[in-house]
Structure 1
Amino acid sequence: MAATTSISEELRNRIQEVLANVPDPEIPVVSVVDLGIFRGIVEDDTGNAVVQITPTYTGCPATLVIEQSIREALANAGLSGVKLDTVLSPAWTTDMISEEGRDKLRDYGIAPPPKGSAATSVRHSTAVQCPRCGSKDTQEVSRFGSTPCKALWRCCNCAEPFDRFKCH
């Protein structure tokens, strides 16, 4: 017998629509949905909706801001009764970034990791495409970029520096 749920499809869609407009505080062109931080909606013991989120990595300094932004967006949409739960397992990986999110990152000047790269070594030898000119003649300048989840790279073709999401 299938389990019944009191969370309507309409409510699920409304919550997801709200979250699709909550920007990441460090990269405002992508939402928490684009980045895969939003994991899903479950029901608690009392039948209330619970939004599950996972930080991009444990200790991410933006986690509290993301939680506050989600709570505020839900409240502004009249959904203050929706609860929020941080889920650490399974851990977030760069494979959770949506294709739309990858496109938005690239357009913003950040090289997104290719799908499947989370399963490879952090310092794998896959060529990184410059988000500015498209060249794959690039090199890592520093393992540390503008935020802890990014590394600094440089394009040898157009000589522009750019951030790249670290694969994990």
Structure 2
Amino acid sequence: MSEGRDNGARNDVADFELARALEVASGVPDPEVPCVTVADLGILRSVTRDDAGLIVVRLTPTYSGCPAVIAIEMAVQSALLDADIEARIERVISPAWTTDWISEEGREKLRAYGIAPPVGSSGGRRAFFAEDVIACPRCGSAHTTKVSEFGSTACKAHYRCDDCAEPFDYFKCI
């Protein structure tokens, strides 16, 4: 085998390992909202190799004070180790995460789980405390009432549907 082909074979192996690491990391559920993965939420920023060839998984917390940050990093690290993948986890805080990064599939998973996904985009100054009409994720009614600015976590508000009377969280647009 020529040296060029040998390098190509090593690159193929490296690419497979990287692809496998991406697949494994992408499937890790969020500990606070287990219906969505870190990839669905958009907090999985990248899976690359450093100069020494070690896989590096970069994660961005939903906000810097999120109590689940370490749990998420540990869950990704554990999933990779369970798959016999050696990797380093890096926390990336800039640019800051935004709900705009939640995938469409992630938004649908939230809705199916009973959490209203963010409405609109994060561009406005008042996005975090917006007074948008929030549809009930259970019945779809727009007749809802905000019960509390903070729900089960700081990034969610608590609402009640005025039609079906079900309480639900709304994932605030940040």
TM (norm. structure 2) is 0.86
> Given the two structures, how large is their TM-score scaled by the length of structure 1?
0.89
User: Percent same amino acid among aligned pairs?
Assistant: 53
State yes or no: 1:144 paired with 2:141: no
Aligned-pair Cα RMSD in Å? 1.5
- What are the superposed Cα offsets for residues 139-161 of structure 1, whole Å, 9 maximum, x if unpaired? 21101101121110111121111
Partner of 2:117: 112
3-state SS, counterpart of residue 106 of structure 1:
helix
What corresponds to 1:89 in structure 2?
94
The 3-state SS of whatever aligns with 1:118 is coil
Q: Which one of the candidate residues 74, 80, 83 is aligned to 1:77?
A: 83
Segment drifting more, 56-65 vs 44-53 = 44-53
Q: Which has the greater radius of gyration?
A: 2
> What CA deviation, in whole Å up to 9, does each residue of 1:42-98 have, x standing for no partner?
33221322110001110111111111111100000010x211100000000111111
Tell me the distance in 1 between the aligned counterparts of 2:134 and 2:29. 25
User: Runs of 4+ in structure 1 displaced over 3 angstroms?
Assistant: 6-9
Which of 135, 138, 147 is the aligned partner of 2:141? Answer: 135
Report the alpha carbon displacement of residue 132 of structure 1 after superposing the two structures with TM: 0.5
158, 162, 167: which is aligned to 2:168? 162
Pick the structure with more helix per residue: 2
| Preserved contact between residue 29 and residue 35 of structure 2 (Cα < 8 Å) | yes
5+ residue gaps in structure 2?
1-10
Aligned-pair distance for 1:21?
2.1
SS in 1 for 2:132: coil
Q: Deviations over 1:93-146 (max 9, x none)?
A: 1111111111111000000013x4211322223211110000111121101101
Gaps of at least 5 residues in structure 1 are 1-5
Equivalences for residues 31-70 of structure 1 within 5 A:
31-70=37-76
Count of residues in correspondence between the two structures? 161
Are residue 10 (structure 1) and residue 16 (structure 2) matched?
yes
Please say if residues 18 and 48 of structure 2, whose CA atoms lie closer than 8 Å, have aligned partners that are also in contact: no
2: distance between equivalents of 1:14 and 1:28?
22
